[in-house]
Structures are given as structure tokens and as C-alpha cells.
Amino acid sequence: MSDIIQLLPDHVANQIAAGEVVQRPASVVKELLENAIDAKATHIKLIIKEAGKTLIQVIDDGMGMSVTDARLSFERHATSKIKTAEDLFQLKTKGFRGEALASIAAIAHVELKTKQEKDEVGTEIKIEGSQVISQEVCVSPKGTSISVKNLFYNIPARRNFLKSNSVELRHIIDEFQRVAMVHATIKFDFYHNGSEIFNLPISNRRQRIVQVFGGKTNEKLVPVNEETDLVSISGFVGKPEYAKRTRGEQFFFVNDRFIKSAYLNHAVSSAFEGLLKEKAHPSYFIYLKVDPQSIDINIHPTKTEIKFDDEHALYAMLRSTIKHSLGQFNVAPVLDFNRDSSMDTPYEYKGKIAQTPTIEVDRSFNPFKEEKKENAGFSSSKPYTDFKKDAAGSWENLYVGLDTPDIAPKPVENNFSTVEFESTEVTGSLFKGNENTELAHNTTYQLRRKYIVTTIKSGMVIINQHRAHQRILYEEVLRNITMASAVSQQLLFPLKLSFSKQEAILLKEVKEQLENTGFVFDDISEEEATISGIPTVTTESEVSMLLEKLVSDIEQEVPDSGFSLTDLLARSISGSLAVRTGVDLEIEQQQHIVNSLFACTEPTITPDNKPTFITLTVDDIDKKF
């Protein structure tokens, strides 16, 4: 049998490697920004067109590369970061595998311009699909400029799997923020389709977080700092009252590298135990410094997951540090069960000098003098048990004369036939309602504050109150958006809500649809939205949570068509406003949900295709007996 195993050509191997390194345009942005940081740049400019599908360009003022380095940088496993296997455990740089530029060049058109400070001219290289098209000298400032055009041009299947421009831009912004928040000493500029998205000057970490997430973020942050032999913890956590329903503002950085860790996230959540509302998530920006030898960052292609030597100790330190910070800044309540509040000094006595108490004695007091006078006939020969006090034996005198008509007080006329006694009315009905009404036709029953039970001709129906109300609101909101016939309730005082720049942009895009549901926006600026009217189905306290959830849903899956966006709005609003499990409903509310559900065009399922109710026929019940 002939040999069947053969070596793959370099361009095929590079395309396979690109599947690990480059998943979407955001992956290219991450790799190029990290290379610019490793080049010790102080100013990095990111230029994007069509969410990275047409152009991704990164310009830096770093060290630049020589002619040889510029050519070698596109070869697989060519890197300046490591030389031996031991260097993998002493990493202090970002990109170290030497696969990024080779993988990007295999699936795009790449142009590189670079120049070192000592050189008079720079180097320009053009590569298309791993093939070097040209290499020549050029005029270039100090640093490197790399352009990636037509991403996945030679892999149509991968390009077809990309999401809409809005979704891909959201991923690019996420990667940009993760890099920018760590390196506050570097100036960043971000442009998309010619418009400026971010302009981040050199600052400290707190200012950089405020620059990225808006000016209102500053008042929400609580500093966290702890130095130990194992780890150095710094950063900020958000105050509990500003916790969100989504996990958007949660960042872990280990040795200036963004990571994801469900284990460490649980440590932060446990530190907030008892301070957050149900289903609320705290914001945090935690920077960890550990010994590079105590972690392994080479276990995941995107380097967002790492392995710690002693995770349990890190968990305990992180949890206690955050708890200490929350208590130190009077964010968390402190309970001292060993303290006796009765021993506290009142405010009015603070600062006063203690006075020595004085004792006053009545030297003429004789406890037996009064007793001997009243009991003059007392004989010591009589037993002690014969002793009687006049006051104790004269209780009958209180009732003397009550039976005499002339001196007895005039009795009060009472007609006891009119006295009414309170009693609990016992009925034979299991449910609330009128006794004269048949249970099977007019009464519902709420089970465990989660299900509504009612009857039909063939048996009974068990309705999930949250899912049923979600279906009702979904069709109502969808009808209001499409027909633009929603009714608004005007607020006495306009409501001002703060948002980040990206969230404000998304709100502007869906402003018209939201106004059709009943919202009235006075203004939407870069970091704030002013609302003067809200839909009748919601309350003022729910507006912030509703818009926050809505923005999060849009960020995750923004459809291209207007109808799909309308459907997404309706699903998000109905899911946020639907009555929750655990809410006690009155009979009228239960019956309203039942009647409204079966008046829907599709009462059997929720907008997310989950069943809203089940039926039990009499035969099904008979089989249970």
C-alpha cells in the first residue's frame, strides 16, 4: 500500500491556523492592538470600515521593524517574544506564538508599513493570501501601520457566517475596551466609517474607565486594593445600588491581560452577598498581578482563559478584599453581634465629666413603727399564722351597700339582645368568590404564586402566569409598534438615565420604535437620555431596568430587517414587564390573564417558543385514581 500521509502546504496550514486565531474581525483587532502595545507605542489609532469586513487598520508610534523583521513577521512561529520553552512561563508580553500575522495574511489582503527611528526610510510589504505581492522602501513615520482588507475573501463560507455590521462592531468595541482599560498610559483613537467612536487621552485607570463608560461611572466606583505575597489586587467594584441585570461591565485582568473566569466571578458575587437585588449583577474592574510562573496562559487559543496554581487561595483573598472595601467605604452594612447597644454613650452625654453619685439616708425611718401602732392588740403568745392585717381583711367593705337601692349607683341600661359577636364565616368554598357562583365557570385559583388553575369543559387548565403575561404583552407591544397607536403616561418630572456612548447610539437607532410603544424622549445625548413619557403598561421604577435589558438584547443580536428589530423590541419589553413568579395575584388579575391569554392570536407558546399552559382532561385525572 502506498504512503498516504503528506505535509500540508504552508498556505493551507496557515488557513487552518487562522481558524483558531481569527474567528471574526474583532480577533484581528485584538491581535494588532496587542502587537502595537508590545512595540511600546504611546499613541495607537484604530480605523475600521464596515465593521472590519472591508478595512481594519492599526497605526502606532512604536519601535518599528527592520527590513528583515518586517518580512519574517509574516512567517509562522516567527516571534521576538520567546526563544526557549522556559520563556513560556515568564511571559510579560501579549502576542508570543508568532501565528497572528501569518494567519491574518492567509485570509486577507495585508499592507504593512514600518520604520525604525534610526532608519531614514521604511519598508512596505503587500501580501494577499500568504503570497508576497511586493516589498519595497517607502516614506513612513516612526512606528508601524498595518492594514487588513477584505477579510475572509478567499474563504466565502467563513465570511457568510459573520453577523451583521452592528453585531460585529459591538465585538470590536468590546476588544478595544478590554485593551484600552488596561493601558491607561497609552493614547487611543478609534474611528468607524470616518466617525470618531473613542478618543482616549493618557490618564490613570479610574479616568480611563470613566472615559470608556461615561462620566456617570465615576460616582459608582469603589476602590479595591490589597498587596499579598501571592497576588496584588487593585481596581474598582460598582456600588450595589448600581448593579445591573446584565453582566456587561465585568472585567478581570491578570498581568494586564483580559481573562474570563467563572470561578473568580463567583468570588466577587459572594462578596456582594446580601447587598444585591434578585438577578442583579455587580460591576467590577479587577486588576490582578501574579507571578508569571504561577499561571499558564497557553491553554486557550484566544488567551482569555488561564490556569492558576492556587485558585482556592486567590478566591478567598479576592472575596475578602472586596468585602473589606465595601465595608471600609460604608457601602456594606456592618453587624457586630457582640456589641451591647445599651452600653453606647448617648450623644448628649459625650464630652461631659462623670459625677460621683451621692447617697441620701433618712435616719428617722423606722419600718416597724407604723406596724406596731396598727396592731396594738398583737400578742406574742399567739402563733404567727394568726396575724392579720386590717387592710387585707377589709376587702368586703368595698361591696357594702351595693345591694341597697337608696345608696347603690344607678345601673347602666344595657340591652344584651343587640350585642354582636365577631366570628369567622365558614364557607364550603375552596376558593374566594361568591357562594352563589359556580366554581367551574367563574373562579380561578393561584397555585404556589406561579400557576393559575382554571377549568374548562373537558377538565382543567394550568397556566404559567409569567409566560402567559409575556405572550399577552408581546402581542400588545407588537400591535402598538406596527400600528403606532400606543398611549403614553406623562411624567411629572422628566426621568434622566445615564448610558455609555455605545448604548446611547443603540437607543437612537431604535428611538422611533420605542416611541411607538409609548416612550417619549426629550433628548438622547452621548451619555444621557431624558424621558418625559412612558408606556401605560410599565411604571417609572421599571424604566431603567427595561431599557438596560433592551440595550443588552440588541447588542447580542441586532437583526438586519426592520420587522425583526421590531420583534426583538417586543420580546425584550414583554420579558421585562411580565409579572414574575412569586407575585400574589387577585382574583380579578388572574381572570384578566386567563381571558387575555386566550384572546391572543397564538396563546399556546411564548415569544421564545415555550409553552404557556397545559391541560388535564377528566380522563387524565381519573387515571390517577
pLDDT digits (tens, 9 = 90+) for 155-169: 888 888 888 887 888
pLDDT, tens digit, for every residue of 336-350?
555 555 666 666 666
Quickly list DSSP for 137-199: EE---SEEEEEEESTTTT-HHHHHT---HHHHHHHHHHHHHHHHHH-TTSEEEEEETTEEEEE
**Is pLDDT larger for residue 324 or for residue 558?**
324
Amino acid at 265: N
Say what the pLDDT of residue 114 is: 93
pLDDT band at 398 (very low <50, low <70, confident <90, very high): low
pLDDT at 383: 47
Q: Which residues contact 63 (CB under 8 A, 6 or more apart)?
A: 39, 40, 116, 117, 143
Question: pLDDT at residue 625 above 70?
Answer: yes
pLDDT surpassing 60 at residue 56: yes
Among the listed ranges 62-71, 431-440, 560-569, 606-615, which one has the minimum average pLDDT value? 431-440
pLDDT band (50, 70, 90) for residue 534: confident
Domains of the chain, first to last: 10-200 (3.30.565.10), 213-328 (3.30.230.10), 446-614 (3.30.1370.100)
Q: What is the pLDDT of residue 45?
A: 95
Confidence of residue 379 (pLDDT cuts 50, 70, 90): very low
| Residue with more model confidence, 548 or 464 | 464
Among the residue ranges 317-331, 383-397, 440-454, the one predicted with the least confidence is 383-397
Residue 559, classified by CB atoms within 10 Å of its CB into exposed (0-12), middle (13-18) or buried (19+), is: middle
Q: Is the pLDDT of residue 58 over 60?
A: yes
- Percent above pLDDT 90 for the chain: 22
Measure the CA–CA gap between 187 and 199, rounded to whole angstroms.
Answer: 8
- The answer to whether 98 touches 77, Cβ cutoff 8 Å, is yes
The number of residues making up the chain comes to 625
- Residue 224 CA to residue 126 CA, distance in Å, equals 47
